[in-house]
Chains A and B, each alone.
Chain A
Amino acid sequence: DTEVTQTPKHLVMGMTNKKSLKCEQHMGHRAMYWYKQKAKKPPELMFVYSYEKLSINESVPSRFSPECPNSSLLNLHLHALQPEDSALYLCASSHAARQGSYYGYTFGSGTRLTVV
């Protein structure tokens, strides 16, 4: 299996809703990432998990809450979002620092989030 699977593909939520994005990979990667991408821009790093521990939080507002229940799963819990949070949310995975040869990130196809 060489894929990163993200669900849902599209999500519309109100500013008072709570929702979660899910990401799954079975490539044995021990590093997983959440990115936010606005139209025509490169992805912006939000969170990094390495060996299931949060290693980087790029000053993301607390209304975004990541979770890594095991080495294959990564969740992003959303609460009280703002319209400016509307974007494509990409999950990615890769070999972690001690996993040897490095072949870059494998990305999922993303969740298109619209906050209304």
Chain B
Amino acid sequence: AQTVTQSQPEMSVQEAETVTLSCTYDTSESNYYLFWYKQPPSRQMILVIRQEAYKQQNATENRFSVNFQKAAKSFSLKISDSQLGDTAMYFCAFIKRGNYGGSQGNLIFGKGTKLSVKP
């Protein structure tokens, strides 16, 4: 069975600074997808970034980037130039890749990291 672990229940960062959120996972699969989702107080879960395990290159989306270490089963999220609007719960998630490039099974979430950006 797959598990996702986020070891930092809460973090805080000053506006404009950089912060890194940690995520590790356990799986025997070689093909899978990893995600970071953001859930602000408005409560909608928003996809921040997606990584395909068979791609070595780390995914980036504007101020958000990941450090994907497949051998170490680590998938950390770096937020650069933090903004007040980045204040949210951040969930790391895992899903197996299916034979047709889609998914297999269901999304497995970590327990989340609450990030507060301070002015």
Q: Which A residues from 57 to 116 make CB contacts under 8 A with B?
A: 88, 90, 92, 94-110, 112
Using C-beta atoms within 8 Å of the partner chain, give the interface range for chain B: 20 to 34
Q: Please tell me if A11 contacts chain B, counting CB pairs below 8 Å.
A: no
Contact between A98 and B111, CB atoms less than 8 A apart: no
Q: Please tell me if A13 contacts chain B, counting CB pairs below 8 Å.
A: no
C-alpha spacing A99/B101, complex, angstroms: 8
9-residue interface stretch from B12-20, B38-46, B60-68, B72-80: B38-46
Q: Please tell me if B25 contacts chain A, counting CB pairs below 8 Å.
A: no
Contact between A41 and B33, CB atoms less than 8 A apart: no
Contact between A97 and B44, CB atoms less than 8 A apart: no
By beta carbon, the residue of chain A nearest B109 is A42
Main secondary structure of the interface of A (DSSP, over half): loop
Contact surface of A with B, Cβ cutoff 8 Å: 33, 40-43, 45, 48, 56, 88, 90, 92, 94-110, 112
C-alpha spacing A28/B39, complex, angstroms: 24
Q: 17 other contacts beyond A41-B112, A101-B101, with CB at 8 A cut-off?
A: A88-B43, A92-B45, A94-B103, A96-B102, A97-B100, A98-B98, A98-B100, A99-B100, A100-B102, A102-B33, A102-B102, A102-B103, A104-B33, A104-B50, A107-B37, A107-B45, A110-B44
Which residues of B sit under 8 angstroms from A56, Cβ to Cβ? 106
Main secondary structure of the interface of B (DSSP, over half): strand
Contact between A95 and B45, CB atoms less than 8 A apart: no
Contact between A101 and B102, CB atoms less than 8 A apart: yes
C-alpha spacing A100/B103, complex, angstroms: 9
C-alpha spacing A35/B50, complex, angstroms: 21
Q: Which B residues from 94 to 119 make CB contacts under 8 A with A?
A: 95, 97-98, 100-104, 106-107, 109-112, 114
Contact between B103 and A108, CB atoms less than 8 A apart: no
